[in-house]
Amino acid sequence: MDFDGFYRDTSRRLLRYAYGLTGDPGEAQDLVQEAYARAWQRWRRVSGYDDPEAWLRVVVNRLSTDRWRRIGVRRARAAAEPPLPTVAPPSEDLVLLVRAMRELPDKLRRALALHYLLDRSIAEIAAETGASQNTVKSWLFRGRTLLAAALEDPTVMAPEGARRAR
Amino acid sequence: MPADLDELFTALGRQADAVPLAEVEQVRRRGRQRRARSRAGMAAAAVLVLLAGTGVLLDRRHSDAEPILPATTPARIRGLAPVGEPLRTGEGRMWNGARISGDRVIGWIRAGDGSQETVAVDARTGRTLWRTTGRESFHLGVATTSKAVILLREIKPQSESLDEPADRLLLFHDPATGAKRWELRHTDRDQLVLHEDVLVRMVHETRAIEAYDLAGGRRLWTEPADGDPTKLISGMRVGPDDSEEHSGTTSALFRPDAAKAFPFTDDRVVDLSESGRITVRDIRTGKIRSVARGRAGAEELFAYEGKIYATLRIDGVWSITTPDHVLYQPDDSAEFGYPFPCGQTRVCVLERREANGAKQEARLIMIDPNTGDVIRTTGAVPRYGDNSTRLGHILTSGTGEKGTTLYDENGRARYSDDGIGGFADNGNALTLTRDAGDGRFTVRGVSNIDYQAAKLGVIPEISGRCDWNEDLLTCPAGRELWVWRLTR
């Protein structure tokens, strides 16, 4: 398996996944680029894995939870590179969905992104995350319930404490 | 399951598919930059240049300071005053991080051409004190204490958790001169505890414990593995120590670009064996001070004010334990949170759960470590990240819509914003928020006494982790390394 072919065949899927986790096109582009750069750096080993795409998703998971990255350090880093083309803004419904996804616990968000954006089965998500199939079902159920509630009432996921503290 | 949620995900997928991807050559270029740095070899000697800088102390008070709030003890932080001019680097280079080491600021650069640079700046004058440059293996960042500047390099690429350990090198430099004092080869599977005078290493491969004099690298003691090998080690936090760690080891020695080192000050180090044997030793001599019996299977270990805490699964349920008690087990609906000390006689857990089957909420649970009794449970702001405690008040900072929250001693959220933050001293915290679309950050001082926030100033877009203490704030900002003195 050559790197260019692997990138061509899989990068669109990883971008879907990163976009589902972050809800930010620029952030997703940067995460995907960084993950593939790391894969390219150690391609001999990564290409030997049973599922190199799962390895890339592990990298994206880790990078997406870095708190300094979250507040915008990425943008300064990316400023040194040529900008990628922008994308049309999402609809209002998608903005609400993305906002609700961001509020979910990481593992729920990850499970939803794998299931709905990458069409992974419950068994496949269980294998990738190391959780039981029942746990994955519970994550998906909880995630869907929380999203449905948030989409009905966009204020439903705003944290109580935050409102109090303001 | 509402049908429109399915449709929304389909639309989200389409939206994602419209996001342009980088050309593969762009990805390779980024990968080549990483590879060049990691394969350049160890042959090229670092160049140490002692510079008599010519920086001038400027005392430009920031115009946005708000000196109208009442006085507090410790004194309220009211403004930022730049120290000297920002230290500028050349075209195509960027500061990747900044750390404070005593009265010096250490900035570091990992350039695209594989070169690297570490610079010390006098935090009183802004003068450049020393500079090391090199083109050695991949530079992962810098951790500091008041007595050591520690550079981390990757000898072999990082494993990312799926294959064998990655070989790494810690280089210990003198903060005053920049001279390298000693180095320690290790792997990313080892465990490291950074004390103000000692570095303790648990060698993953052999399970032996080694302790080194931090200043000179002399081996102080070694505890070889026995039939019940060591699984976890931890330093001992005590009251005045600051920390943002989840466990008793020092994550900044593994991820110095993202984490800050908080060296332990107490002279005890703890190790926990596979079978659950807990040994407390003198960190300077290795002599055993006490032995206790805990449970096997611990996943995390930390120690505070003489008490030892471990997290592990009991009958499939994540549990917080001491050698004597199971302190806390969340119910099924809660997502397990890491415990952390939150006062002299308290351990806290921040956990998230659903309420009424739909709403997401978080709870802060305060536990008596002697009895396991829950002292108080309060509503909290959902997030994942780091926790620290001063005067029994808790500051959490991490990911989530509200990034940073300050709680009082009763667990009530008293201040929250969507930035990143941490304590500066017992009386003050700092937060950095990205408020406008121009990339700049607003710095706020938040009193840990009356919870009032004051805007201290607006700083340029940052390009790596900032650092602060009771006197200083320093940030890498693209080609500029900034140092500000906190005014009271």
CATH number (domain holding residue A13): 1.10.1740
How many domains is chain A built from? Answer: 2
Question: Any idea which residue has 């780091």 for tokens?
Answer: B386
- The H or E element that residue A74 is part of is helix A74-78
* Domain co-membership, A78 together with A2: yes
B360: Cβ contacts below 8 Å, ≥ 6 apart: A103, A104, A105, A146, A157, A159, B352, B353, B354, B382
* Domain co-membership, A78 together with A96: no
| pLDDT band with cut points at 50, 70 and 90 for residue A7 | very high
* pLDDT at B58 (0 to 100): 35
* Domain co-membership, A80 together with A106: no
* Domain co-membership, A67 together with A120: no
* pLDDT at B394 (0 to 100): 92
Contact B201, B209 (CB under 8 A): yes
For B53-87, b/e burial (b = at least 16 CB within 10 A) is: bebeeeeeebeebeeeeeebebbbbbbbbbbbebb
* Domain co-membership, A5 together with A55: yes
Residue that terminates a domain, selected from A21, A53, A87: A87
B108: Cβ contacts below 8 Å, ≥ 6 apart: B95, B96, B97, B98, B116, B117, B118, B119, B139, B141, B142, B151
With a CB-CB cutoff of 8 Å, which residues 103-162 of chain A face chain B?
Answer: 103-107, 112, 116-117, 142, 144-149, 151, 156-162
* Domain co-membership, A100 together with A156: yes
When CB atoms are compared, the residue of A49, A149, A159 closest to B362 is: A159
Contact B462, B475 (CB under 8 A): yes
Half-sphere exposure of B466 (CA within 13 A, CB side): 30
The token pair at A159 is 């944290």
Contact B139, B108 (CB under 8 A): yes
* Domain co-membership, A82 together with A1: yes
This prediction's pTM: 0.74
* Domain co-membership, A5 together with A61: yes
Pairing mode, strands B149-154 and B167-173: antiparallel
* Domain co-membership, A4 together with A48: yes
Cβ-defined contact of A34 to B30 (cutoff 8 Å) = yes
| pLDDT band with cut points at 50, 70 and 90 for residue A135 | confident
Positive/negative CA dihedral, B124, B435, B405, B339: negative
Total CB pairs under 8 A between chain A and B:
229
- Over residues A90-97, mean pLDDT: 81
Q: Name the residue of chain B whose CA is nearest to A138's CA.
A: B333
CATH code, A145: 1.10.10.10
The token pair at B281 is 């030793």
Cβ-defined contact of B478 to A20 (cutoff 8 Å) = no
Residue-range domains of chain B with CATH:
93-184 (2.40.10.480), 389-487 (no CATH)
* pLDDT at A28 (0 to 100): 87
Residue that terminates a domain, selected from A45, A60, A87: A87
- Full residue range of the structural domain in which residue A61 is found: 1-87
* pLDDT at B134 (0 to 100): 83
What is the ipTM score, two decimals?
0.84
Which of B257, B226, B236 lies closest to B193 in space, CA to CA? Answer: B236
Shortest Cα–Cα distance, A24 to chain B (Å): 9
Residue that terminates a domain, selected from A55, A87, A119: A87
Shortest Cα–Cα distance, B381 to chain A (Å): 5
* Domain co-membership, A28 together with A58: yes
* Domain co-membership, A140 together with A119: yes
Between A34 and B276, the more confident residue is: B276
Ranges of residues in chain B with a pLDDT under 70 are 1-3, 33-69, 156-164, 240, 332-336, 353-360, 383-384, 399-402
Interface test with A, best of B91, B356, B359, B440 (most A CBs within 10 A): B359
pLDDT in tens, B321-368: 999 889 998 876 666 677 888 887 889 988 876 555 444 578 899 999
* Domain co-membership, A64 together with A107: no
Count of beta carbons in the 10 Å neighbourhood of residue B376: 14
